[in-house]
Structure 1
Amino acid sequence: MYPPEPWQLRGQMFLSVFLIPRGRLPQLPPVLDAAVKPLTVGGRVAVGAAWVKYEPGGVLHYQELLSAVLVHHHGRPRVSIIDIWVDSVASREGGRRLWGIPKELAEFRIDADDEPLVDASATLPGPVPPPGLPGAAPEPAAPFASALVRLKGRLPGRFPLGFSVAQALGEQVRHTPVRGRAGLRTANAAWRPDPDGPLGYLAARRPVLSLAVTDFWLTFGRTATDRARSGSPKGRAAS
């Protein structure tokens, strides 16, 4: 139903970084909250929010919206995904079962055809018409988040990407490596999350940094070499 680990992925990402008061941050799952701590500066934590288009050429192609917090585990930096939506059942099931990533389904519009503007929105699946009303159509759902991104200058060259994602998988913390390369463009972004929606903690906040991560390729998950180094044929959930 979904590809085995690791996933080779290609695409475009439109990323913004926010500084959020610690008290506004959603609670992490208990097993994860006990293992990692958000990196805090002046009572604020760094939260990244991103629109992603995974394109043909990788093992899956789909669209995604996520938010993640920068944390540390025994002094080692990690990224923990707080909220995430995709428009692929295979991605949802694989993300949950392989790595503990709490993916949900949503409908997307990520329009990058009007260079240098990227217009993006995400909507939760609409309600089912009430029984007994054949042909009745529900009213269109309003987006729970949208953003307008203006792309700016390209930075020369391609840049290495490398980090680890820490998520709760059952009663353990799974640390998953992510590696790749990408181009970078500076950007300005105006985010419009619904204050009463699942990304309400980002409402009325301006990002401190926005970037386009262009034409990236990623290896998400443990390779055979990683598993050999860990001393286990399936790798270790915690490290």
Structure 2
Amino acid sequence: MTDTRYPPPPWELVGDLRASVWVVPRGALPAWRLPERARAAGFGGRCVVCTLWVDYQEGGVLRYREFLVGLLVWWRGRPTWTIVVARVDDPAALAGGRQLWSIPKELAEITITPIRPPSAGSSSRTSRAGLRAQLRTVPDATDRAHDARDAPRPRPADRVDAQVAHGATAHDAPLADPAHDTPLATPAPDASRTGPAYDVPLAIAARYGRGLPPLPGRWPLRLRVTQPGHGGPLRVPATLRGRVRLCRGRVRAAGNGPLGFLHGRRPLVSVAVDDFRFVVRAAEPGRR
């Protein structure tokens, strides 16, 4: 039996992440569920999106891996982030994220492998040059892990593949589907199935360079996250502190997949945050 018991807030987590910020035309974005009275923030008909790969490691309340997509929105006259896509590889993290903070997490198989420069030893996590990551959906597993208030729904049998190579130095060949070692192909939708439960597979691949040396010190960041809760908007208080460095990356996404709005685009900026400490506190009801 799958154990979906999760710790109470606050969650104190440690690990490494890679984030990319994108500027995307408003009309290219899916119709995501946003908090009541929230609207996508941006300028000139463009919106700001952030994608993240996160490796939560030993030393925190849970150890798991996660892929996130956040949309910058205006809510009650202030900018805040709303998590619109979330994949995790741990049932407890899935259940906790949904129940405690109304984050739309779904289950996936995610592998993240560190890449260190030849001169770096294995003792320091912060010396690594980058990360390689792979994500694959687990059909039906998310539905089994949904809390009781969510109605069961079928999942597509299609497999979701994604590959990220952060800091890779020997990847001059076309970015590939890691399962087949062939260039990433745009998945074909199943014409017999429609609706959110039958979205075509997520497909994304990326390659990140080593980037600049880390900025001195450990940089603190207070995150503003607001989610569309069942009883109204929820504010998610969170703080992040870690070693920050700029990266440069190339990303490819399938044009007709859930991340098709990234197809053919380049991130505005990418950063690595290594050896971070991330604290997520109990959600606070937001005024409507």
Q: Structure 1 length as normaliser, TM-score? A: 0.83
Q: Residues 187 and 211 of structure 1 are in contact (CA less than 8 Å); yes or no, is this contact kept in structure 2?
A: yes
Deviations 1:158-187 (A, max 9, x none): 111102211111131100111131110110
Residues 187-196 or 89-98, more deviating: 187-196
Return the letter of the residue paired with 2:236.
Answer: T
Segments of 4+ moved more than 6 angstroms: none
Q: 1:177 to 1:24 in 2, by over 3 A?
A: same
Q: Residues 119 and 149 of structure 1 are in contact (CA less than 8 Å); yes or no, is this contact kept in structure 2?
A: no
Q: Match for residue 211 of structure 1?
A: 271
1:57 aligns with 2:59: yes
Equivalent position to 1:12, from 11, 16, 27: 16
Q: Residues 35 and 173 of structure 1 are in contact (CA less than 8 Å); yes or no, is this contact kept in structure 2?
A: no
Q: Structure 1 CA distance, aligned partners of 2:268 and 2:160?
A: 30
Q: Residues 120 and 148 of structure 1 are in contact (CA less than 8 Å); yes or no, is this contact kept in structure 2?
A: no
Q: Structure 1 CA distance, aligned partners of 2:278 and 2:93?
A: 15
Q: Structure 2 CA distance, aligned partners of 1:212 and 1:186?
A: 6
Q: 1:139 to 1:173 in 2, by over 3 A?
A: closer
Q: 1:141 to 1:101 in 2, by over 3 A?
A: closer
Q: 1:140 to 1:197 in 2, by over 3 A?
A: closer
- Percent of aligned positions that are identical: 36
Task: Give the 5 Å matches for 1:71-90.
Answer: 71-90=73-92
Give 3-state SS (helix, strand or coil) of 1:106's partner.
strand
Structure 1 position 25, deviation (Å): 1.7
Q: Structure 1 CA distance, aligned partners of 2:134 and 2:93?
A: 19
| Number of residue pairs the alignment of both structures matches | 216
Q: 1:74 to 1:88 in 2, by over 3 A?
A: same
Deviations 1:190-210 (A, max 9, x none): 222232322222121100100
Q: 1:18 to 1:90 in 2, by over 3 A?
A: same
Q: 1:141 to 1:22 in 2, by over 3 A?
A: closer
Give 3-state SS (helix, strand or coil) of 1:152's partner.
coil
Q: Structure 2 CA distance, aligned partners of 1:155 and 1:140?
A: 39
Q: Structure 1 CA distance, aligned partners of 2:12 and 2:260?
A: 32
Q: Match for residue 46 of structure 1?
A: 48
Equivalent position to 2:221, from 145, 158, 161: 161
Q: Structure 2 length as normaliser, TM-score? A: 0.70
Q: Match for residue 206 of structure 2?
A: 147
Q: Match for residue 230 of structure 1?
A: none
Q: Residues 121 and 147 of structure 1 are in contact (CA less than 8 Å); yes or no, is this contact kept in structure 2?
A: no
In structure 1, list runs of 5 or more residues that go unmatched.
129-137, 223-234
In structure 2, list runs of 5 or more residues that go unmatched.
118-128, 142-156, 163-202
